[in-house]
Chain A
């Protein structure tokens, strides 16, 4: 009974927090978008604006509700958003929700690959680096991690593109599937082939953070009392690392990986731009440049949910997997 009450309050708190965050983000985003001097009608029509009549323009303005005041529009938009209708994207001429759903699925492949790769490699490198502190290996890993931290991810993508796609011709130059086919036609292999470089770009950058974090935790763990005691029992440094330290540093690493979903999202925006990968990131840039306000707002809300989800999973993992927190209710 007691535990279920705790779980309930946890979720209630989380949902409340999400609602509050979304409301604030929506207000902030809507205010920002309304500050913009970019006229949506001009942005939509571009050069064609000269050719259409006053009447047609009025029609467009009325259809988008631009004739109403900003406050009125905000409540209209919020009301629709609560019903699940985020409006219509101007550049894709489709409901925003559909655009986001489609694009996100494409991005998801990319992000999931990069997330797993950076998590696994970053963790392994961090563990090795911390275990053999100040060795040549550690120095190399640190040099790599610190250098990558000052490298723009889009430039890293361009370097990989110049090497692997242009010079060596191993990987395709752009897109998520070969030109001339559709997503449904393309084979699994073709998808993977196109995913290779963008995912590598994202993970090369992502590895650094997790590796450095894990390294610190590993050094702490190896200097801890329990590691000392394990060594006094005759275990080797490597044995202590595997049997004692790993379980203590894995949880913070996984948590960090979930908590850094925002950076992953931002990285994917840049990587998708470099590789013309038709995901959500590319859509964000297009929406921003071409003034697609409904899509931009929709993506902002979605990204906030995405980041919030990551943080919630991180919290949840911490409370569920750490016995010190899970078993607190049964002291002896």
Chain B
């Protein structure tokens, strides 16, 4: 349904009176989502996950420059084209209740979202009611303000805003952060349900566990680059070779014993000539610092590492 090729995003920043510097934040990210598929974008904070989401929605700030290729339902799109899609074809489930207008009643916000997705007044009302029923939100919730609803309820309301329309691609930004286990389970279950209905879901998370739980494909980001694209099943079978970074994330999960990496070097000292992960990589070899690896196909995966073999 959606394919992104070689997406790069950079920012311009004024340093002194006439001096501008360009910060490359995201470079060379590729991913594709099929109907009914859940793709998890996994990375630490600052890896560029949210920027990719904003790029998909055409919401990058004015000083950002983006290059790359978007293909949605077989059609190539321009930045203007992608802006046409937001709300109608692509919907966002934001991270927290702060994304709701604090002074507008919840029901009205879901209704507004339905209207913006292109529904007329009547169908917007019915679809609004339907989504409220579907996510077990009582009618009284409609007249509440965002600060009055609980976290679990907020999750369901946010999901409702994204599904009150008829979007085929759902982007869920950190759907489990700051939630207790029960509520995050429920939140993920709702995403799974959306995928079963044939919608494409992009799950943005820093938690590999989430991805392994419900996603079909994992896209692992490191410092604004894709380091691995792999089927989620593959991770459970630990013996399958994967990128050292993915492996370290996997080993850092509670069930695998909290093995952690040395801290990330600051991005200013990052060696851009060689492999970005080389500084922290347990398997780094001298050659890693000299030449940057490119994404290559190993078995059924794409890996950005010169030293994994199939």
- A residues in contact (CB < 8 Å) with B: 225-226, 228-235, 239, 243-244, 247-248, 322-324, 327, 330-332
Scoring A225, A247, A331 by chain B CB atoms within 10 A of each residue's CB, the highest score goes to: A225
Residues B104 and A244 in contact, CB atoms below 8 Å apart: yes
Partner of A323, one of B94, B103, B153, B161: B103
Across-interface contacts of A234 in B (CB, < 8 A): 86-88, 116-117
B172 contacts chain A at the CB level, 8 A cutoff:
no
Return 14 A-B CB contacts under 8 Å, by A number.
A225-B94, A226-B101, A228-B94, A228-B99, A229-B94, A230-B112, A234-B116, A243-B112, A248-B102, A324-B145, A327-B148, A331-B148, A332-B148, A332-B149
* Nearest Cβ on chain B to A169's Cβ, whole angstroms: 49
Residue of A nearest to B117 (CB): A234
Partner of B94, one of A232, A239, A247: A232
Residues B98 and A226 in contact, CB atoms below 8 Å apart: yes
Across-interface contacts of B149 in A (CB, < 8 A): 332
Residue of A nearest to B112 (CB): A243
Residues B101 and A233 in contact, CB atoms below 8 Å apart: no
Which 7 pairs between the two chains have the least Cβ-Cβ distance?
Answer: A234-B87, A229-B99, A232-B92, A226-B101, A233-B87, A225-B99, A234-B116
Residues A231 and B99 in contact, CB atoms below 8 Å apart: no
* Number of B positions contacting A (CB below 8 A): 29
- B residues in contact (CB < 8 Å) with A: 57, 59, 86-88, 91-92, 94, 96, 98-104, 112-113, 116-117, 144-145, 147-150, 153, 161, 165
Residue of A nearest to B86 (CB): A234
Across-interface contacts of A332 in B (CB, < 8 A): 144, 148-150, 153
Across-interface contacts of A225 in B (CB, < 8 A): 94, 96, 98-99
The docked-state distance in angstroms from the alpha carbon of A234 to that of B83 is 8
Q: Given A233-B116, A233-B161: A322 and B103 within 8 A (CB)?
A: yes
Scoring A228, A229, A244, A331 by chain B CB atoms within 10 A of each residue's CB, the highest score goes to: A229
> Majority SS of interface residues in chain A?
helix
The docked-state distance in angstroms from the alpha carbon of A331 to that of B146 is 11
The docked-state distance in angstroms from the alpha carbon of A323 to that of B108 is 15
Q: Given A232-B92, A235-B116: A226 and B100 within 8 A (CB)?
A: yes
The docked-state distance in angstroms from the alpha carbon of A330 to that of B143 is 13
Residue of A nearest to B96 (CB): A225
The docked-state distance in angstroms from the alpha carbon of A322 to that of B92 is 28
* Nearest Cβ on chain B to A18's Cβ, whole angstroms: 30
The docked-state distance in angstroms from the alpha carbon of A233 to that of B100 is 12
Residues B87 and A235 in contact, CB atoms below 8 Å apart: yes
Partner of A232, one of B59, B101, B112, B150: B59
Across-interface contacts of A235 in B (CB, < 8 A): 87, 116
* Nearest Cβ on chain B to A56's Cβ, whole angstroms: 68
New A-B pairs, 18, CB < 8 Å, besides A232-B59, A234-B117, A235-B87: A225-B96, A226-B98, A226-B99, A228-B94, A229-B94, A230-B101, A230-B116, A231-B57, A233-B117, A234-B87, A234-B116, A243-B112, A244-B101, A247-B103, A248-B102, A248-B103, A324-B145, A327-B148
